[in-house]
Structure 1
């Protein structure tokens, strides 16, 4: 009887969630189906579907908050749901029709999700007795509880699947992935949505004892120590006048976001430690943000504007403003963080001034200037020039790689492809890509690699002996028996190696490794790294036997070498 009552209660709660968030629930089921097809299909389904569904889920949540907070009429609710659908479909067509690169798609989606999340949290606090930090705490507690239940559930399901696979019968590895998909896309969000109070049910919440202790004795001290390390790094940087050091940039955005989350939670705690943290941290945050803003702006003139540096500068300015606002005690109860963060997010994805457009324009102009300075661009066409200085080669390589990664190389005058591989780079410009750390006076390296599929299909029936062969200076001399009468000896030295095929103690075939490399690199390889199938085989014939050497990889440098391939021997009966 109690089981039936529990099922009835859960069903009623599920129906309430569906009635309150109809579009959200529909999109969650769509996301679960998308993931199911991804798991079962061997082909990658278009990424824009996932990105658009994710954005649609967040837009539907915001539309429901707007309905409950401001637009209570059913017509306005239907309008907001329809608007969310239109915006989601528009975003999908934007990503799909314009062939947005994955990196740009990823950043845009994260920015929109962040912006809509702040709107979802902040709307209940507008013109309300509930502060933004209190609304944030309420959402955080519900996310934490829903996540805890989900972790316990997926752990239990995983143990059951493992037990069935071990004790009863074999279970496909995709079963756990399907279980995780259902928990992550349906159970977790539905539990969370079912716990969100209505607007008229909102009350001021305090952190639970566990959360308050976690903040007071774990998260706040860790944040303080980590911030101290950052401050020490800044002090050392200033003392050593190494202002262009960018070690702080990669961690800055995540640092700002995580510390602001901890700060918002600490605002609702009454412990002495958290109160001290709340009063001191904003000033330190403003100092760190000011320093990094200056450094990142200065670095634009040194190595250019990238989308990553754009976001670092934008979030540094945001953190600076937040630090100043929260440094004033009378402003701590305000919800300025929401509109400022939403505004910064809109700027980063707005047409013409977004991160990827501005960085592309800067990088394209910088690359075209280098082409013109080094006589690589003539009458609108790219021409070869092998006399380019090493420093300019490094800059050109960095700019070409950046634009190639974003499929934006065709914006450069004289280039039709949207990306280059290293071979196209060299054939177009007359020199190979050169990266930071390249020292042409110290190291002179030749290297080739043959694709595996070009050497895999061989008629082994025509050979009496075959073996994989890998040689480096660190190998010891080794011997291999070939048939009844032959012995193959591989002898290595620091700067050379030797292959000898002998019959009854008499050398039949002798191969000098460096002579092999000379012929390989000087005569057969034209593109520097490519080897045609016909040129990958070296044949050494003698009266008693024939030795075929199939090259797979070879590298020669001033101080070392490497060789790998396959060796086949045919003996004369």
Structure 2
């Protein structure tokens, strides 16, 4: 009954919310109508839909700003004009791009994120409630509106299913229309109805709205904080390992580190008013741990950019890591952490990321275009302002060209390259334009000695067969053991360096002989294959090394190399060895 009473109060409060956010509500209704029209006509209104979503949030933020300055009519007018201009600018930025393309969704998502942070920050102006309080209010409002909307949506769906099954067939459209109306109009309006009026006279309402429920207290203190602590430990160990083996550009945890930074900042904000021991300890330690972890990812991504050029994803990763590191510094300084500096910094970063000519896509396009032209000119592939095919260029350069063309095609920027044929299509025109496959950077190159060749073993005492690959954990590879004069030796693969090393170690795990694979694999890649097959002469796949303690001969039975920039390979090798 209590749940029903709360829901009834929310329903009666919707009229007040509509009067409070009239422009937002109107935009939501228009958005729902356009979505329904899309179902009826099949015409795509993608960019208009994206702009309306952006505009609805912009006018909501404008209303919040106006409430903070309730006695200033010019602030109200400035807020409305500002929201209108921002919405128009958003539409102008995306109007020429395909609906729901990467560039449209990414740019609008960043802009909406910046607007949401602005929405949370504006009530803290003029000595209002803190930014952390506002985030807690918004978090609770989002959670409660989702909870009620899911219940109502589930109930309506059950009714429609019952009517469709028991009474009369209604088709699929009522389900679609119901979902559009509920999630486009009802749920956002319910969310807005849960927000207090952001004015100094409503301080008691602020405190009530920002009060941390017991459930959320337990969730933050005993689930989210311990999980973040364990996660931090794992990341720190990984950082130490990566730095120790000096393989920064092979770091595999970029999405996990970014999600960690987001989670730490969110947990910090949500736990700001909790005074239990775990929350206090987290707020003291988490910002300090955030700094090295964010900077680690910054350096790792920067090394990738040096090797592969800038893209919009790398740009955003670098920008966010820098933001996270600076946020860690701010939260570690007691005089700054409660002044809303985090919000201002987030807004500034959002503006930078979407404002030409310093936005993510412009920088990414410029970088990849310059990199592509550099490689083409280095290989003398541009003549008379046209690309000339050259199938004999190095595989590394083929990868760079394929990567840049693929990225520029992804962001719809190929038409800017004057030296490409008109209406160039990467799937049908790439190979005849450049002289090699567009998948050079991702396809596998195979080398094999075949099954009809005998391997000479004279001069060696032991033969071992190893299955090796990279990337892969050290325990994933086959290891062979041998005994000489009562001493047990081991032939194994050590996955460090560019391609790893095959080595012989004694019973004390001291290295007797080490043979790096990088020069061997580089040599195999340059070997000439037999016509019509992947087989290579045995002598081109065989390599010897010797010192005063042992000698070794490595013969690749087969080798598959994915990409020179990835340092990934898979191989089966014969290892002939003798201990002196």
- Normalised by the length of structure 2, the TM-score is 0.71
Residues 144 and 441 (structure 1 numbering): CA distance in 2 closer, same or farther, change over 3 Å?
closer
Show the counterpart of 1:266. Answer: 271
State how 1:444-455 maps to structure 2 within 5 Å: none
| CA displacement 1:443-472 (0-9 Å, x = unmatched) | 9xxxxxxxxxxxxxxxxxxxxxxxxxxxxx
State how 1:12-161 maps to structure 2 within 5 Å: 13-43=13-43, 45-70=44-69, 72-74=71-73, 76-97=75-96, 102-128=101-127, 130-161=129-160
Show the counterpart of 1:405. Answer: 410
Show the counterpart of 2:280. Answer: 275
Q: Is the CA contact 1:104–1:356 (under 8 Å) kept in the aligned structure 2? A: yes
Out of 403, 422, 428, the position equivalent to 1:423 is: 428
Show the counterpart of 1:245. Answer: 250
| CA displacement 1:216-272 (0-9 Å, x = unmatched) | 122222222223322222222112211112422234444322331121001111221
Show the counterpart of 2:440. Answer: 435
- Distance, in Å, in 2 between the alignment partners of 1:6 and 1:388 is 70
Q: Is the CA contact 2:18–2:189 (under 8 Å) kept in the aligned structure 1? A: no
Q: Per-residue deviation at 1:411?
A: 2.4
Show the counterpart of 1:311. Answer: 316
Show the counterpart of 2:202. Answer: 201
| CA displacement 1:93-140 (0-9 Å, x = unmatched) | 332146688211111111111111111111111232522111111121
Q: Per-residue deviation at 1:28?
A: 0.8
State how 1:509-528 maps to structure 2 within 5 Å: none
- Distance, in Å, in 2 between the alignment partners of 1:277 and 1:64 is 35
Q: Is the CA contact 2:69–2:75 (under 8 Å) kept in the aligned structure 1? A: no
Show the counterpart of 2:347. Answer: 342
Say which SS state the counterpart of residue 419 (structure 2) adopts.
coil
Say which SS state the counterpart of residue 331 (structure 1) adopts.
coil
- Distance, in Å, in 2 between the alignment partners of 1:10 and 1:316 is 40
- Distance, in Å, in 1 between the alignment partners of 2:327 and 2:130 is 16
Q: Per-residue deviation at 1:73?
A: 4.2
How well do the aligned residues superpose, as a CA RMSD in angstroms?
Answer: 2.6
- Distance, in Å, in 2 between the alignment partners of 1:316 and 1:387 is 40
Say which SS state the counterpart of residue 291 (structure 1) adopts.
helix
Residues 10 and 225 (structure 1 numbering): CA distance in 2 closer, same or farther, change over 3 Å?
closer
Q: Per-residue deviation at 1:38?
A: 2.9
Say which SS state the counterpart of residue 249 (structure 2) adopts.
coil
- Distance, in Å, in 2 between the alignment partners of 1:144 and 1:399 is 42
Q: Is the CA contact 2:57–2:112 (under 8 Å) kept in the aligned structure 1? A: yes
The number of aligned residues is 441
Show the counterpart of 2:301. Answer: 296
Q: Is the CA contact 1:279–1:327 (under 8 Å) kept in the aligned structure 2? A: yes
Q: 2:191 aligned with 1:192, yes or no?
A: yes
Residues 172 and 101 (structure 1 numbering): CA distance in 2 closer, same or farther, change over 3 Å?
closer
Residues 418 and 339 (structure 1 numbering): CA distance in 2 closer, same or farther, change over 3 Å?
farther
- Distance, in Å, in 2 between the alignment partners of 1:422 and 1:270 is 59
| CA displacement 1:357-382 (0-9 Å, x = unmatched) | 11111100111111112222112111
Q: Per-residue deviation at 1:8?
A: 10
Q: 2:170 aligned with 1:177, yes or no?
A: no
Unpaired segments of 5 or more residues in structure 1?
Answer: 444-521, 523-557, 560-573
Q: Is the CA contact 1:407–1:418 (under 8 Å) kept in the aligned structure 2? A: no
- Normalised by the length of structure 1, the TM-score is 0.72
Q: Is the CA contact 1:422–1:432 (under 8 Å) kept in the aligned structure 2? A: no
Residues 191 and 231 (structure 1 numbering): CA distance in 2 closer, same or farther, change over 3 Å?
same
- Distance, in Å, in 1 between the alignment partners of 2:10 and 2:97 is 44
Show the counterpart of 1:218. Answer: 223
